[in-house]
Structure 1
Amino acid sequence: MANSVPRETSPNISAGLPTEGDILTRRYDLVEQMQFLYVRLVRARDLPPSDPYVELRLGNYRGTTERFLQRTPSPIWNQVFAFEKDRIQDLNLEVVVRNRTVMPHPFVGRVRFLVPDVPKRVPPESPLAPQWYKLEDQNGTLLAAGDVMLAVWMGTQADEFFPQAWFSDATSISGDTRSKVYILPAFWYLRVNVIQAQDLLLRFHPESSDLFVQVDLGRERLRTSFAKKKNPDPFWNEDLMFVAQEPFNECLVISVEQGNLAEHVSLGKCVIPLKNVEKRLDGGPVTSTWYNLDRPGLSVVDPYKEVVFASKFNARISLDGAYHVLDEPTEYCSDLRASAKKLWRPSIGSLELGILKASGLEPMNMGARTDAYCVAKYGPKWVCTRTVVDTLSPVWNEQYIWEVYDPFTVITIAVFNNNQLEAENRARGAMDTLMGKIRIRLSALEGNKIYTHSYPLICLQPSGVRKMGEIHLALRFSWSSLNVYQFYILPLFPRHHYIFPLSPTQIDILRNQAARVTALRLSGAEPPLRTEVVYNMLDVRSDTWSMRKGSANFKRIENVVGGFVSLWKWLEDVRYWKNPVTSFLFCLFCIIVVLFPEPIVPLGIFYLIFVGLKRYFKRPKHPPFIDAELSCLDITSPDDLEEEFDLFPSQFGGERLRRRYDRLRSIGGKAQRIANEVATMGERLESLRSWRDPRATTLFLMFCIVSYFVTLVFPARLIILLWIAFCLRFPRFRSVLPSIPQNFLMRMPSKRALIL
């Protein structure tokens, strides 16, 4: 673990800039330029009756079109193949049409191209138009019938066909290896305030059963507590909250149940489309509505026909768009905007990421090979690179861009091994393996500067911690105005989080629910992004108790209070005159303070300025990364790792032992959160002078300089009196929103993101 520090690299990323000798090259400046031979197969016509397919031959490379069971003389393929230029060993490209109905597949016809004669094409030029080519036989004679429509050109990874191309190193793989971009819809909080029900037709005696309300939204289900009054008119007045996604095509199912949690029957049910639910963007009240409950076994009540009798249900239901829906821990957030687009601020810049390559990867599959791909997440946009198969040093050279709305956000990048390329693995449900994950905080980056670093891929496994290799990235955060500085005095989250705050328990439940909704959405895409990948990226087990994380958080507290402990020990040494000279000078200093107290505050501020300027020359030169020592990776025992990788609830045997063990883990999780909050606050104070966020430290030093001159002009007693009067002001003159110093401090980085 000695090399678990990012190293600055010097990739040849200038290859993507326009040069005089190559006017076709576009600006693609965060990755090394790669040349590909693209073949776009569109369709064919006038072929013999058969099940035709196309085989591409280029030296040792072979590529075949997918089978669509098209027994037609005019098949349609619409497939793109890409051959990396540096691996091309033959200058002859053959496009061969074969018949799949007979074994061995007979030759139908072919088209040949010379690679040096292929035209170059780089966007923003328009796509190369496919053309009809006559098929020829094996002797080079044109056939009387049979044409194929295709286009062949030489391009780069900036080509718009790059994401959908089948690459030469994976054309024989049955699984999908192409790069893709996923855009998540906006998530909203759905609040269901269950008030009461009336005129229920009870199925059992009230004394022998309980009444509660069950609410379903998609695959999520929540229940209220038992009604205190077991009669046909029960009362609850409880809030149930869900995570809903635009465009709100789902329906909310509300059912009043009688019985117990294990066995219960429905007394009535109503179905409410989310499109009919009131959307709330402010703190205005939501009107309560009475709904008819359809009794089981009866036909659905016609909304246009007068209902003679029906049980009633009263609730307030609203979609709250003024909150930000958290799907990851606050310290790792990649988006802080409210759900409703009307409440968004304009973007302040852009984040560009170049995923260059990986090196020295550990073998993950049989035959000492690895099929690696990279996933990056920022805001609602997830990107997945192509899978480079059968290599321990994959080269991706793919570039992506995001809009940035808040500089105090984090981008997450992870490397996975693709275990879905073989049919046997897919049949037995093999999961993609995490090989390492890094997080980069945007506020730690200087504006318009390109960061090129190699980051170690550190992975924690049941057997211990391992370095799985390195990933090479290029990163640039571009912003062109001073508006980025105003974010330091704004609340971290939208106003609704402070005016109508959610409890920590609600936030945890909703965050896990949002993670499940995200996983369900992405796993249903084509091609899917697997559930284990989404959960790893969102770090859904971040708050689960483990001895290692608890030790790491307590070590953070020790680091924060270590300065105060050292000061206390030094004062004890002075008190007992262990160093007479030091003790005498300290007594002299105390006498001067008593006689001349005015310079004390200016001297204290001057000391902060001196320390800040002194640390400027030792400021970090690279983005923060995983701290192996802080993560307690070197002292973690196998028992601790077994506990950390154990599921919740525990998988150990013994019902009583499991209940006690899970209770202990729950208590430990709360203690861990408290320790994390204490450590985070101390580290944020420490970060004011650490230059981890250059703009924040600059603002803090400017404030100190101004404060220094203010304390020189105004007496210290007056400043202290005004400060006490301000802190003890009447509550009527206070704001429900956090103060400017609180907002500034909440945006400071901590070391939580550095813990693996």
Structure 2
Amino acid sequence: MSNQTSGQNQKRNPSKNQNNNQNQTANHNQKANQNGYPNQNFTTYPPENEDFNLKETKPTLGGGRVTGNDRLGTAFDLVEQMHYFYVRVVKAKELPLKKDGNDKGNLHPFVEVQLGNLEGLTLHFEDRTNQELVIVMVVFEINEVPKRVPPDSPLAPQWYWLENKKGEKVKGELMLAVWIGTQADEAFQEALHLDATSVNGDGVANIKSKVYLSPRLWYLRINVIEAQELQIGNNMQQPEIYVRITLGNVVLRTKNSLIKNVCPSWNEDLMFVVAEPFEDQLVLSVEDKWYSLEKEVVSEGRNKKVSKLNSKVHSRLSFDGGYHVLDELAHYSSDLKATSKELWKPSIGVLELGILNAQGLSPMRTRDGCGITDPYCVAKYGQKWIRTRTILSSFNPKWNEQYTWEVFDPCTVITIGVFDYCNLQVLTPAGVKKIGEIQLAVRFSCSSLFNILAMYSQTLLPTMHYLHPLTYYQIDNLRHQATQIVAMRLSRAEPPLRREVVEYMRDAGSNLWSIRRSKANYARIAGVLSGLIAIRKWFNGICTWKNPFATVLVHIIFFLFVCFPRLILSSIFVVVFLMGTWNYRMRPRKPPHMDIKLSQAERVPWDELDEEFDTLPTSPHNDAVRMRYDRLRSIGSRMQAVAGDLANQGERFYNLLSWRDPRATAVFLIFCLVASIVLYVIPFEVVASVMGFYTMRHPKFREKLPSVPLSFFRRLSAKTDSLL
């Protein structure tokens, strides 16, 4: 038998622990843009303090760094060094017989490793009924165990003689290797940890760290062209014929054929998401609206006769590897490569993530009457998912694990989350809640700055998305299919990555209705338009002469632009350059992260949160549903009014030339004719100067009534009077 076991060294430096407690940590669900923030550690603080900003920390890192440029996997230079006692159990020989004299064939030996109050077992047969155990052992002094620092050569296992409980030497030997190492040891990933047991009692495999690769996804395009010689019932004069396609648990259908005979045609594309290896069967069936066109199987006793059909379906099937399977939200994309490897471009750098520790986690459930949490961390970037080992019954777990990813595009996002056997969520139906802090170290190393800058000139998605774009409905439907496939595959891995974890990391429910998200998007739009609003207020102050000196200066600059129009564009770019240079002092020093204020999650009414976490279809009682429906109608009415007003303005603009109002159109055409003659005769500088000075005229020459052009425009007709 062979097994590897590691137990974390329980002797820690108290002063080092105090320093670690002062380390600031990062929000448990970070979605950070990788734009090249080198070797930084960040933190967010609990919501009670109204402080969710990332702050740089300075933990003692590099304990696992290997010497020189030689690396074994990851260098572990972004995490703190942790000492482990490793035991590699290989095999045994000449084990002693039981007292009843049975032969060795009835023995079911196993090895038990004990370190302090920690213990672990190797693989063994479970059936040991009515058997007397023969206990023999090997004892080591910890201070005599050799230390091994990577990249030292692995320690060779040796034969050790066995002794009984009395310390007497007995027959038999055990081959094993023992050493003290760090998490940089190559045996760390495969070792079983003695300081952890199963959450559900289903084996220690549930707590091991694991690197997952999500399946390679393809778009399967099925072009249904036509069918021939269908057999249709005599009573069907106008059949509604369509094609139903089933792949796994996904069913799509074409539109009804416009040709109502035995040779219908569609020429319609249907797309599915499939994953390698291709296991599901693809079923195409031609049906009409009421009757199936499949020929029935006739059974005569034990013999079965199958009547063959002469009907045929003409279709074209292809794997579209030129697309990137859109399995993530656009603003959370971690991978933008095409499916076909022939279209991949070289990587531009390496992203390294050190997951150090978490602090102040909240209890998620109870065990033996006490609140507990069994946390583990999950990170996703591209096709590579990682899961740290599970630390049992700890509110301040220390992982100190480091992982790397290849980066193919700098404008991508890494997603990091902390989970329990029950999920840890920041936003709950009770509101935003502090559930802890996590400390991370992030480093992005680029191979060439020129290659990164060149990426900004390339299309974000593969060219197929622009040559043959997918519809919004297709993108949404295919993304849902891809999420379900990835969740199903990763849940089958060992140890499994639970479906709800995958869906949470992919933010699968973000497309559901949420008043909080609507308010957040409204605030984002207001923030985007704030610059234009500020310019409008400034120009209104110029026109109303609030600051005469500034207004006179603007008049002079305007006159110079009119006389020398070549200065306009160059001056605009100079101003933009100066503004960007001025803002360099206020540049972001930390990567973006989850912003509670931006998410409008600080003070959310209870009912709005209850609605956001409601199931689909809804589950509350009728009164709550009626109240929410009335609220949606109120919001929808305001949106309807705004949309109607925008439509009115657009229709009035188009009706200037539509002769809907003959008098208004005639007046506008006469104005256009006169304006064309005036603008041809009078120099452009004069016209521009008159219009500019008129716009910025002194308030004494202004009237409070609307201007003539505005009154004329508002009198134009729209299609409002044609609505019911």
TM bucket normalised to smaller: 0.7 to 0.9
Match of 2:573, SS state, is helix
Cα deviation, residue 409, structure 1: 1.1
Aligned-partner residue type, residue 11 of structure 1: P
Residue in 2 aligned with 1:644? 612
Residue in 1 aligned with 2:246? 216
Of 515, 527, 539, the match for 2:483: 515
Is it true that 1:573 corresponds to 2:541 in the alignment?
Answer: yes
Cα deviation, residue 551, structure 1: 0.8
Q: Using the alignment, how far apart are the partners of 1:27 and 1:495 within structure 2?
A: 37
Match of 2:77, SS state, is coil
Query: Do the aligned partners of residues 564 and 497 (structure 1) sit closer, same or farther apart at CA in structure 2, a change above 3 Å counting?
Result: same
Residue in 2 aligned with 1:375? 378
Residue in 2 aligned with 1:318? 318
Residue in 2 aligned with 1:55? 112
Aligned-partner residue type, residue 374 of structure 1: C
Residue in 1 aligned with 2:287? 257
Cα contact 1:62–1:171 (8 A) shared by 2: no
Cα contact 2:113–2:120 (8 A) shared by 1: yes
TM-score normalized by the length of structure 1: 0.69
Query: Do the aligned partners of residues 461 and 172 (structure 1) sit closer, same or farther apart at CA in structure 2, a change above 3 Å counting?
Result: closer
- Structure 2 unaligned residues grouped into runs of 5+: 1-46, 98-105, 301-306, 644-684, 686-724
Cα contact 2:64–2:183 (8 A) shared by 1: no
Q: Using the alignment, how far apart are the partners of 1:577 and 1:26 within structure 2?
A: 66
Query: Do the aligned partners of residues 585 and 558 (structure 1) sit closer, same or farther apart at CA in structure 2, a change above 3 Å counting?
Result: same
Aligned-partner residue type, residue 434 of structure 2: K
Q: Could you report, residue by residue, the CA deviation over 1:395-450 in whole angstroms, capped at 9, with x for unpaired residues?
A: 00001111111111111111101x2xxxxxxxxxxxx3034xxxxxxxxxxxxxxx
Cα deviation, residue 657, structure 1: 6.9
Residue in 2 aligned with 1:412? 415
Cα contact 2:198–2:207 (8 A) shared by 1: no
Query: Do the aligned partners of residues 52 and 651 (structure 1) sit closer, same or farther apart at CA in structure 2, a change above 3 Å counting?
Result: same
Residue in 2 aligned with 1:10? 58
Q: Using the alignment, how far apart are the partners of 1:148 and 1:197 within structure 2?
A: 72
Residue in 1 aligned with 2:361? 361
Residue in 2 aligned with 1:463? 430
Cα contact 1:206–1:231 (8 A) shared by 2: no
- Structure showing greater radius of gyration is 2
Q: Could you report, residue by residue, the CA deviation over 1:563-583 in whole angstroms, capped at 9, with x for unpaired residues?
A: 211221222233233333333
Q: Could you report, residue by residue, the CA deviation over 1:62-95 in whole angstroms, capped at 9, with x for unpaired residues?
A: 22335543x6xxxxxxxxxxxxxxxxxxxxxxxx
Of 138, 145, 153, the match for 1:118: 145
Q: Could you report, residue by residue, the CA deviation over 1:300-319 in whole angstroms, capped at 9, with x for unpaired residues?
A: xxxxxxx9753211111111
Q: Using the alignment, how far apart are the partners of 1:412 and 1:475 within structure 2?
A: 12
Is it true that 1:531 corresponds to 2:557 in the alignment?
Answer: no
Q: Using the alignment, how far apart are the partners of 1:204 and 1:371 within structure 2?
A: 67
Of 164, 188, 191, the match for 2:218: 188
Q: Could you report, residue by residue, the CA deviation over 1:611-661 in whole angstroms, capped at 9, with x for unpaired residues?
A: 112221221111111222211112421121122112333334669979x96
Residue in 1 aligned with 2:129? 101
Q: Using the alignment, how far apart are the partners of 1:584 and 1:656 within structure 2?
A: 60
Residue in 2 aligned with 1:238? 268
Q: Could you report, residue by residue, the CA deviation over 1:640-683 in whole angstroms, capped at 9, with x for unpaired residues?
A: 1122112333334669979x969969x98xx99x99xxxxxxxx
Cα deviation, residue 13, structure 1: 0.9
Is it true that 1:328 corresponds to 2:306 in the alignment?
Answer: no
Cα deviation, residue 596, structure 1: 3.8
Q: Using the alignment, how far apart are the partners of 2:253 and 2:161 within structure 1?
A: 68
From the two aligned structures, give the one with the greater strand fraction.
Answer: 1
Residue in 2 aligned with 1:490? 458
Aligned-partner residue type, residue 267 of structure 1: L
Deviating runs (4+, > 6 A) in structure 1? Answer: 23-26, 654-658, 662-665
Cα deviation, residue 484, structure 1: 1.2
Cα deviation, residue 384, structure 1: 0.3
Q: Using the alignment, how far apart are the partners of 1:122 and 1:190 within structure 2?
A: 50
Q: Using the alignment, how far apart are the partners of 1:368 and 1:657 within structure 2?
A: 35
Aligned-partner residue type, residue 169 of structure 2: L
Cα deviation, residue 258, structure 1: 4.0
Aligned-partner residue type, residue 480 of structure 1: S
Is it true that 1:156 corresponds to 2:182 in the alignment?
Answer: yes
Cα contact 2:72–2:151 (8 A) shared by 1: no
Superposed, 1:508-657 pairs within 5 Å as 508-652=476-620
Cα contact 2:64–2:184 (8 A) shared by 1: no
Higher deviation after alignment, 44-53 or 308-317: 44-53
Cα deviation, residue 16, structure 1: 2.5
Superposed, 1:40-51 pairs within 5 Å as 40-47=88-95, 48=97, 49-51=106-108
Cα contact 2:74–2:404 (8 A) shared by 1: no
Aligned-partner residue type, residue 250 of structure 1: D
Residue in 2 aligned with 1:226? 256
Higher deviation after alignment, 530-539 or 43-52: 43-52
Q: Using the alignment, how far apart are the partners of 1:399 and 1:205 within structure 2?
A: 70
Cα contact 1:51–1:101 (8 A) shared by 2: no
Q: Using the alignment, how far apart are the partners of 2:531 and 2:107 within structure 1?
A: 81
Residue in 1 aligned with 2:9? none
Residue in 2 aligned with 1:474? 441
Cα deviation, residue 340, structure 1: 0.5
Aligned-residue identity in percent: 48
Q: Could you report, residue by residue, the CA deviation over 1:261-294 in whole angstroms, capped at 9, with x for unpaired residues?
A: xxxx6534xxxxxxxxxxxxxxxxxxxxxxxxx8
Q: Using the alignment, how far apart are the partners of 1:25 and 1:544 within structure 2?
A: 41
Aligned-partner residue type, residue 439 of structure 2: H
Q: Using the alignment, how far apart are the partners of 2:155 and 2:338 within structure 1?
A: 42
Q: Using the alignment, how far apart are the partners of 1:380 and 1:26 within structure 2?
A: 18
Residue in 2 aligned with 1:197? 227
Cα deviation, residue 243, structure 1: 0.7
Match of 1:623, SS state, is coil
Query: Do the aligned partners of residues 266 and 139 (structure 1) sit closer, same or farther apart at CA in structure 2, a change above 3 Å counting?
Result: farther
Of 40, 65, 69, the match for 2:122: 65
Match of 1:170, SS state, is coil
Cα deviation, residue 298, structure 1: 8.9
Q: Using the alignment, how far apart are the partners of 1:633 and 1:338 within structure 2?
A: 36
Residue in 1 aligned with 2:399? 396
Cα contact 1:123–1:158 (8 A) shared by 2: yes
Cα contact 2:72–2:186 (8 A) shared by 1: no
Residue in 2 aligned with 1:433? 423
Residue in 1 aligned with 2:24? none
Q: Using the alignment, how far apart are the partners of 2:160 and 2:228 within structure 1?
A: 76
Match of 1:434, SS state, is coil
Cα deviation, residue 230, structure 1: 4.7
Query: Do the aligned partners of residues 462 and 586 (structure 1) sit closer, same or farther apart at CA in structure 2, a change above 3 Å counting?
Result: same
Query: Do the aligned partners of residues 621 and 215 (structure 1) sit closer, same or farther apart at CA in structure 2, a change above 3 Å counting?
Result: same
Query: Do the aligned partners of residues 56 and 102 (structure 1) sit closer, same or farther apart at CA in structure 2, a change above 3 Å counting?
Result: farther
Residue in 2 aligned with 1:32? 80
Residue in 2 aligned with 1:340? 340
Q: Using the alignment, how far apart are the partners of 1:147 and 1:31 within structure 2?
A: 39
Cα deviation, residue 468, structure 1: 1.5
Superposed, 1:657-736 pairs within 5 Å as none
Cα contact 1:212–1:257 (8 A) shared by 2: yes
Cα deviation, residue 24, structure 1: 12
Q: Using the alignment, how far apart are the partners of 2:417 and 2:351 within structure 1?
A: 17
TM-score normalized by the length of structure 2: 0.72
Match of 2:459, SS state, is coil
Cα deviation, residue 474, structure 1: 0.8
Q: Which has the higher contact order (CA 8 A, sep 6+)?
A: 2
Cα contact 2:357–2:400 (8 A) shared by 1: yes
Match of 1:377, SS state, is strand
Aligned-partner residue type, residue 58 of structure 1: L
Q: Using the alignment, how far apart are the partners of 2:590 and 2:253 within structure 1?
A: 49
Query: Do the aligned partners of residues 557 and 204 (structure 1) sit closer, same or farther apart at CA in structure 2, a change above 3 Å counting?
Result: farther
Higher deviation after alignment, 165-174 or 152-161: 165-174
Match of 1:318, SS state, is strand
